[in-house]
Amino acid sequence: PEKIPCRVYRHAGEASKAVAAEIAELIRERQSQGRKAILGLATGSTPVGVYNELVRLHKEEGLSFRDVVTFNLDEYFPMQPDELQSYVRFMHENLFDHVDVLEENVHIPDGTLADADVEEYCRRYEAMIVDAGGIDVQLLGIGRTGHIGFNEPGSGRDSRTRMITLDKMTRRDAASDFFAEENVPRRAITMGVGTILEAKKVILMAFGEGKSSVVAKAVEGEVSAIVAASFLQTHPNAQFVLDDAAADALT
Ligand code: F6R
């Protein structure tokens, strides 16, 4: 039995359009109330279709991001913003450079800090989310380790924004982006499971057969730190948006 509602689409393209339409509706609703929409954003291959569609809605249908505030989940550490694999660069190339979001409303964990400054920085990142009014909708992908953000196995339900060590499998999956596994950073800064669970709504997207077994564990398995995404079973307003292939192992 499904413990998290799943919406299953034939293709990732359709799923991405549906998610983008939901985000656009939230932005417009907030705008009509004179309020800001607070978005929690993910990187990686999964949300690219959503960002493409949001850019199209901006260019062709007048969707404005002037009242949108964004918080990204994670960033490799160390990482300079102009490096090829930086999530700052990813977000600008895939979304921010093509819409009218204000630079001061964009937040992405800083991969350029000195080690000693990371803890205090993470506390401030959390405080900025709270000060903004909390995240209205958090977009997530899922790693083959079950990670959401970079909450690798062992991340507890109360974990907060912090420095983590990347799992071997995650570094292997990132190897092609870095041209070799040994070039993949060993650490990252990520929002915690507890941070993610405080979002008012959570949408986890997963596409392709490579994700089917971890999706089944997250949706139907035991709630445990072995699969961080399983904690979404305890969220009152979480849903998975899948293509047929990623839904294949669900009962
Ligand atoms: C990225 C992130 C990660 C990815 C996950 C899936 O900001 O937080 O959890 O969502 O690793 O990555 P893709 O979409 O590339 O399969």
182 flagged as catalytic: no
Residue spans per domain, the chain? 6-243
Measure the CA–CA gap between 182 and 175, rounded to whole angstroms. 8
**How far does residue 102's CA lie from ligand 1's centre (Å)?**
25
pLDDT at site 2:
67
> Which fold, 6-243?
Rossmann fold (3.40.50)
Residue nearest to atom 8 of ligand 1 (CA): 149
Residue 6 β-bridge partners: 240
The single residue of 120, 152, 181, 220 carrying the catalytic annotation is: 152
Is any atom of ligand 1 closer than 6 Å to the C-beta of 42? yes
Is any atom of ligand 1 closer than 6 Å to the C-beta of 55? no
> Which residue, 13, 25, 8, is CA-closest to 52?
13
Q: Please write the tens of the pLDDT for every residue from 53-112.
A: 999 999 999 999 999 999 999 999 999 999 999 999 999 999 999 999 999 999 999 999
Phi/psi zone of residue 134: left (φ > 0), alpha (ψ -120 to 50 degrees), beta? Answer: left
pLDDT at site 44:
98
**ipTM above 0.90?**
yes
Q: Is residue 244 helix, strand or coil? A: coil
Query: Ligand 1 pocket check: which of 16, 73, 155 to mutate, most ligand atoms within 8 Å of Cβ?
Result: 73
pLDDT at site 208:
98
Query: Ligand 1 pocket check: which of 19, 41, 46 to mutate, most ligand atoms within 8 Å of Cβ?
Result: 46
